[in-house]
A and B are shown apart, each in its own frame.
Chain A
């Protein structure tokens, strides 16, 4: 099971700047088990957004957002509602956000940070990866993770080794920042690339002992 933690509502609202109509997708898998997601949390988030003058046009719970086929199938049935939305807020780990972003044309924003799970990698049925960095930047990067798609895990855009859409480290490896550029360009959000991301807090990659001591962590260890 992946360990996730709600982002502060102020960070979520800041990420949703310019998007007034929001659709919330929740993962009924790990975040529900970890108590950072699930139907009640999604309903609570909808209330919090409404209090910040956002219009929540709809919500959906999907079992395991990391399964792209399932995400496509379920969201496909909600096309009419999704058309009313400016952006999606995704209540899942980093993989679920990326899988959702790959299946819809709208900007997708993470509602959670995915914490280190001491090596547990979760359910990976597809290409998206989450490095459990504890400080999710998918909101800025079009729902494509630079930590896992860039060979150097860079946060401020492509390096000089990016050429013809490819990374310098292997002849056929796509440049993660090129993918991000393409996605943001298609969404008219290239300005995101101009935002400086300051050096990250690497403590967030770690799980402090006080977290490890919780009952949930202990249960996790039993798994």
Chain B
């Protein structure tokens, strides 16, 4: 049974973390990141060819976490695999004990390091959730019986700062109907944005984890404002990051994240922390948030 599912269904406040597999097979840093998160989070997201930059796969790293006695959230995007491969990977995941699956459409391949690749998008986030639900019911997408149905705890993503927000809300409902049992949000840096989202999705009665991405420096914040869809970092946070010396950036970043979590924790059912490698800040972040 997924602990993430247990906790959310019991109404417990949840913190999840995230690691990004490396580009290559030297996993020393990833192993350190994993250890930083051990015992501190309910589950660890493993990103799937994040930002369309080719790297080690999310399924094998998710399996690694299971073998390490940790609980993964296996992120799955629709950009790189068709329905045959996605269903097969879902069965593989269930077979090795991976239960939490986060269904994503995936960034467009133009945004990554292989912009000349063919985008697949045979399924999308909604039809992937529908696929997961179908497999759990003992059938594949073609209607064939499975020998042994897999069990999953399917999740999905919502962007609280998208402008306009209404299409996101409609898609939230659609994802919930297709089988999403919880949501985690795109990075949110303003509690008012989260509050606005929560007001509109409350009625669907699906738990939401607010997405917190650690700010590494002011330039990164400005970059996200300009180039990452649906991410908005307020000027005062950018100024705060700009006010500290480079060696103090990590400390300040954890302080800001903790402060944001403190403002947001009563609005939602949990936090999804995306440390972007700075997993060693976890104690600091949770301390500032009052969650340690």
Least Cβ–Cβ distance between B78 and chain A, in angstroms = 8
Partner of B122, one of A156, A157, A161, A202: A202
Other-chain contact of A168, B111, B124, B170 (Cβ < 8 Å): B111
Contact with B along A162-186 (1 / 0, CB 8 A): 1110001110000001100100010
Chain B hits for A199, CB < 8 A: 83, 122-123, 127, 131, 141
- Is B230 touching A163 in the complex (CB atoms < 8 A)? yes
Look across to chain A and name the residue whose beta carbon is closest to the beta carbon of B120. A152
Q: How distant is A208 from chain B, measured CB to nearest CB, in Å?
A: 19
Question: Does B278 make an interface contact (CB < 8 A)?
Answer: no
Q: Does B62 contact A (CB under 8 A)?
A: no
User: In whole angstroms, how far apart are the Cα atoms of A158 and B105 in the complex?
Assistant: 10
Q: Complex: how many Å from CA A13 to CA B24? A: 55
Interface of A is mostly: loop
B126 and A152 within 8 A (CB):
no
* CB interface residues, B 190-226, toward A, < 8 Å: none
Category for how many chain B residues contact A? 35 or more
Q: CB-nearest residue of chain B relative to A185?
A: B166
The residue that B124 contacts in the complex, of A155, A163, A181, A202, with Cβ under 8 A, is A155
Report the nearest A residue to B78, measured CB to CB. A152
Find out whether the CB atom of A157 lies under 8 angstroms from the CB atom of B171. yes
Q: Which residue of B lies closest to A202 (CB)?
A: B122
Bitwise interface map of A from 132 to 164 toward B, beta carbon under 8 Å scored 1, else 0: 000000000000000000011111111111111
Q: Is B108 an interface residue (CB 8 A)?
A: yes
A168–B130 contact, CB under 8 A?
A: no
B287 at interface (Cβ–Cβ under 8 A)? no
Question: Are B130 and A196 in contact (CB-based, < 8 A)?
Answer: yes
Q: Bound state CA distance, A198 and B131, in angstroms? A: 9
Check if B108 sits within 8 Å of A168, measured CB to CB: yes
Instruction: Say if the beta carbon of B178 comes within 8 Å of chain A.
Output: yes
Interface centre among A155, A159, A168, A196 (most CB of B within 10 A): A159
CB <8 Å contact, A158 and B174: no
The residue in chain B whose Cβ has the minimal distance to the Cβ of A157 is B171
Q: Taking CB as reference atom, which chain B residue is nearest A155?
A: B124
**Are B119 and A152 in touch, CB under 8 angstroms?**
yes
Closest A residue by C-beta to B158: A160
Contact of A190 among B107, B163, B170 (CB under 8 A): B170
In the complex, B284 has a CB within 8 A of chain A:
no
Chain B, range 216-273, C-beta contacts under 8 Å to A: 229-230
Assess whether A198 is in contact with B167, with CB atoms less than 8 Å apart: no
Query: Is there contact, CB below 8 Å, between B174 and A156?
Result: yes
Cβ distance A155 to chain B, nearest Cβ, rounded Å: 6
A197 at the B interface (CB under 8 A): yes
A interface size (C-beta, 8 A): 29
Q: Does A168 lie within 8 Å of B167, measured CB to CB? A: no
Q: State whether B121 touches A158 (Cβ < 8 A).
A: no
- How distant is the Cα of A81 from the Cα of B164 in the complex, in angstroms? 36
Contact of A193 among B124, B127, B159, B167 (CB under 8 A): B167
Choose among B130, B178, B229 the residue that contacts A160 (Cβ–Cβ < 8 A): B229
Instruction: Tell me the minimal C-beta distance from A148 to chain B in angstroms.
Output: 13
Question: Is B110 an interface position by the 8 A CB rule?
Answer: yes
List A contacts of B111 (CB < 8 A): 168-169
Smallest CB separation, B161 vs chain A (Å): 8
A181 to B171, CA, bound (A): 12
The docked-state distance in angstroms from the alpha carbon of A155 to that of B104 is: 14
Q: Which residues of A contact B171 (CB under 8 A)?
A: 156-158, 193
B173 proximal to A (CB < 8 A): yes
- Whether A194 sits at the interface, judged by CB under 8 Å, is yes
B229 touches A154 (CB 8 A): no
Give, as a whole number of angstroms, the nearest-CB distance from A191 to chain B: 9
Is residue B186 contacting chain A, with contact meaning CB distance below 8 A?
Answer: yes
B127 contacts which of A161, A170, A197 (Cβ < 8 Å)? A197
Which residues from A are CB-within-8-Å of B145?
Answer: none
Q: With A and B bound together, what is the CA distance between A194 and B104 in angstroms? A: 18
- Given the complex of chains A and B, what is the CA–CA distance between A193 and B169 in angstroms? 11
Q: CB-defined interface of A49-92 with B at 8 Å, one 1/0 digit per residue?
A: 00000000000000000000000000000000000000000000
- A202 to B: closest C-beta gap in Å: 7
Could you tell me if A151 and B173 are in contact, using CB atoms closer than 8 angstroms?
A: no
Extra A-B contacts (9), CB below 8 Å, given A154-B105, A157-B174, A199-B141: A151-B110, A152-B121, A156-B127, A159-B124, A163-B159, A168-B107, A168-B111, A169-B111, A194-B174
Q: List 5 A-B contacts (CB under 8 A).
A: A152-B79, A157-B167, A161-B108, A161-B229, A168-B111
8 nearest A-B pairs in the assembled complex, by CB-CB distance: A163-B229, A156-B126, A159-B105, A152-B121, A157-B171, A161-B229, A169-B110, A193-B170
